Amino acid sequence: MGLTYKDAGVDKEAGYKEVQMIKGFIKKTHIPGVLSDIGGFSGLFQLDTNKYKEPVLVSGTDGVGTKLRVAFLMDKHHTIGEDAVAMCANDILCQGAKPLIFLDYIATGKLVPEKMASIVEGVSNGCIKAGCALIGGETAEMPGFYAEDEYDIAGFCVGVVDKSKIINGSTIQEGDLILGLPSSGIHSNGYSLVRKIIFEKENMDVSHYVEELGTTIGEELLKPTRIYTNPVYDLVENFNIKGLSHITGGGFYENIPRMLPEDLAAHINTKVIDTPVIFNLLQKWGNIDLDEMYGTFNMGVGMVMVIGKEDLDSLKNFLAQKNEKVYVLGEIRKGSREVVLCHE
């Protein structure tokens, strides 16, 4: 008997089993507009053209970086998919777009249906939090390319915004206020440095209990990235949000300028931030300069926005009713599209 695909390391039956296992997770994410079910060659979504006068599609794609290594070490995979959704959905929110649809791509050395289903369960949970539908994806079994117990995941998100309501920072002016929404932890950036500090310099393993954190270092590092659709999209609908910045790779210094006009700068007082303990520990363990920390990590603020001073009180009251915390970080001043941090 001749060779089969299974002899080459690709198990089609495992793929079929995975599809059956993830159907329920996918169905949970469906929102009005979904026209397709799993199994087709593409996902279909009908755009509500009555709600948007001039609908503009906004898209984003991303992965979760070397945070995956922590998931491998812990053999816990049910949150990493949520990270993939967060990284994409949060980015398109920055243009004022409502996330609509999401697709995932998972490549692995050996397709283990239960593991893949756990990842997709995380994607499903992320989509529910982001208010978008998981309408398609791909799981690729690639023996000899990835190690058997490893995988990579990437996501792709599409949202919609009315052309007249696109947020691009063009209306930001001197004297406007800079606000920040808390992060849930490290999110999905800076993990190459995190791993170097924790696993090499401190020689910890993922099961090491850290008293200051009240949990193991592995559990802390796997905390999923916060998804900001709620409350940010409600803020976009109800207030004049002039600029939004998702604090990802490059921290404050690289991301905040992306929303600023050329002649303005963001002046921020970092002392108002309730920085999660993990960042203080990383700084101490790695002997890292504070500016390097703010140029690598979110430091406790995952989403930054700019508003006029006149909107501050009503916006704070709006968030208080949702039990949402907000930091008044600083203000916009004349400058050259830069971030000026005050740590004193």
Q: Using CA atoms, how far apart are residues 256 and 304, in angstroms rounded to an integer? A: 7
Fold designation for 12-165: 60s Ribosomal Protein L30; Chain: A; (3.30.1330)
The pLDDT of 285-310, averaged and rounded, is 97
Taking the complete model, does pTM exceed 0.75, yes or no?
yes
Summarize pLDDT for 105-141 with one digit per residue, the tens.
Answer: 999 999 998 999 999 999 999 999 999 999 999 999 9
Rounded to whole angstroms, the maximal C-alpha distance in the chain is 78
* In the chain, where the domains are located: 12-165, 177-342
**Would you say residue 252 has pLDDT above 70?**
yes
The CB-side HSE value for 309 (13 A sphere, CA atoms) comes to: 7
pLDDT confidence band for 9 (50 / 70 / 90)? confident
How many CB atoms lie under 10 A from the CB of residue 50? 6
State both tokens at 68: 């995956």
pLDDT of residue 31: 92
Question: Mean pLDDT for the chain?
Answer: 94
Alpha-helical segments (H) within the chain: 12-28, 67-74, 80-93, 113-130, 191-195, 217-221, 229-238, 251-255, 277-286, 290-294, 312-321
259 three-state secondary structure? helix
Summarize pLDDT for 311-335 with one digit per residue, the tens.
Answer: 999 999 999 999 999 999 999 999 9
Summarize pLDDT for 21-41 with one digit per residue, the tens.
Answer: 888 888 999 999 999 877 778
The pLDDT of 100-106, averaged and rounded, is 97
| Closest by CA position to 9, among listed 112, 162, 84, 137 | 112
Please enumerate, as own/partner, the contacts of 190-195 that have beta carbons within 8 Å and a separation of 24 or more: 190/249, 190/251, 190/296, 190/297, 191/65, 191/66, 191/67, 191/69, 191/70, 191/221, 192/65, 192/66, 193/282, 193/286, 193/296, 194/221, 194/282, 195/66, 195/69, 195/70
Q: Which CATH superfamily, name and number, covers 177-342? A: PurM-like C-terminal domain (3.90.650.10)
